[in-house]
Amino acid sequence: MKKMQITQATVPEGVIDLGIGQPQVDLLPLDKMNLAWGHQLKQANPEILQYGLQQGDARLRRELAGFLTQAYNNAVGPESLLVTGGISQALDLICTLLTRPGDTIIVEEPSYFLALRIFRDHHLNIVGTPMDEDGLIIPALEERVKQYQPKLVYTIPVYHNPAGVTLPVQRRADLVRLSTRYDFLIVADEVYQLLSYADTPPPPMAFFDTAERVVSLGSFSKIMAPGLRLGWMHAQQQILEPFWMCGLLDSGGGSNPFNAAIVSSAIELGLLQENLLHLKKTYTTRRDVLCRAINEHLPGLKFNQPDGGFFVWAELAGRMDAERILEKALRHDMGFQPGVRFSSMNGLGSFLRLCFAYYAEKDLVEGVARLALAIEK
């Protein structure tokens, strides 16, 4: 009988696909989920099987607020949190409630390719704006804001996917000032905020908000497990209130109240923090191994070692076409994400993204060696 596919990423045996941007299955904390579930069972509370609050499980928001307050070293209140079904659902909700087809959204060039797909699904006019080694270039963004008058600016300000860069404090403050001056909402995708491997990054964009212009998005997908389908919006309460009343959350009784109850126990028992520390240690090692392998096997590949997140963003020498290199790499049983997939302007053809989260150290080294063979031939 043919094996049934039950996960999104299914890689043929022997293939090393460094394009997969997910945690390795062995890193998913089944033991901790069992402990959290057992903690919930002992409470014998049938309400976790009922429709939940539109803004999300009250206990999860309380536990999450406490956890984030410690992690960010800044106060987060439960009233400033809305539980979502992950960042993808949050982006879809934002587009549904706050935009109409034909509205403009400005995104970084490059930007997360699945976010771009969500924006296209809502028939938004997507305009790219350039980045440098510190993220968004504010003067260039202002030029585009003046020209296109966007409803939203979507940014990944910390450990950017794919570029790995982090927006400095001054640029964050400048971005918020722009949003006030030109009347747009900042949607900050901060899924990697807690996965830092060096210095602590600046606090989330929501802490820079002075005029109800910022929604920060977080998720348990990268710090616990993607299958939980849980995340959060972090914003001033006035921004969140329209989402409480939307049809999806009102009819559905909030986002995943059953899973929310289990995750609240995981936070209360210290399991989330324990898992996060383990992931940071593991990913730091894997990042270092991948970067050393690139330096050894591909000295001509231009890249910067990221301080957090999942990815290394690299540029091929001589403006080589990454999609053509991918065709050759696949013949060596190796894959990656070509840069053009992250472009809103069909550019970035000589760039590629490599992920160090899905494979153990030995496979990371072997994957880079296979990539080197594809580039050399």
pLDDT digits (tens, 9 = 90+) for 283-296: 999 999 999 999 99
Task: Please determine, for residue 1, whether its predicted confidence score (pLDDT) is greater than 60.
Answer: no
Give me the mean pLDDT over the 130-149 stretch: 98
Residues contacting residue 219 through CB under 8 Å, at least 6 positions apart: 86, 87, 191, 230, 231, 232
Q: What is the pLDDT of residues 165-216, one digit of tens each?
A: 999 999 999 999 999 999 999 999 999 999 999 889 999 999 999 999 999 9
Domains (range + CATH), the chain: 31-270 (3.40.640.10), 273-376 (3.90.1150.10)
How are beta strands 351-355 and 311-315 bridged, if at all?
A: antiparallel
Task: Please determine, for residue 251, whether its predicted confidence score (pLDDT) is greater than 80.
Answer: no
Most confident range, picked from 10-14, 213-217, 316-320: 213-217
Of the pLDDT bands very low, low, confident and very high (cuts 50, 70, 90), residue 247 is confident
Give me the mean pLDDT over the 120-133 stretch: 98
Task: Please determine, for residue 44, whether its predicted confidence score (pLDDT) is greater than 90.
Answer: no
Q: What is the pLDDT of residue 6?
A: 52
Of the pLDDT bands very low, low, confident and very high (cuts 50, 70, 90), residue 253 is low
Of the pLDDT bands very low, low, confident and very high (cuts 50, 70, 90), residue 3 is low
| CA pair distance 262, 250, nearest whole angstrom | 21
Give me the percent of the chain exceeding a pLDDT of 70.
97
Mean pLDDT across the chain: 94
The pTM assigned to this predicted structure is 0.95
Q: What is the pLDDT of residue 130?
A: 97
Q: What is the pLDDT of residue 177?
A: 97
The alpha carbons of the chain give a radius of gyration, in whole angstroms, of 21
How are beta strands 337-338 and 81-84 bridged, if at all?
A: unpaired
Nearest to 108, CA basis, from 97, 100, 119, 98: 119
- In sequence order, what E strands does 221-260 have? 231-234
Residues contacting residue 20 through CB under 8 Å, at least 6 positions apart: 9, 11, 335, 355, 358
| CA pair distance 10, 24, nearest whole angstrom | 12
Of the pLDDT bands very low, low, confident and very high (cuts 50, 70, 90), residue 113 is very high
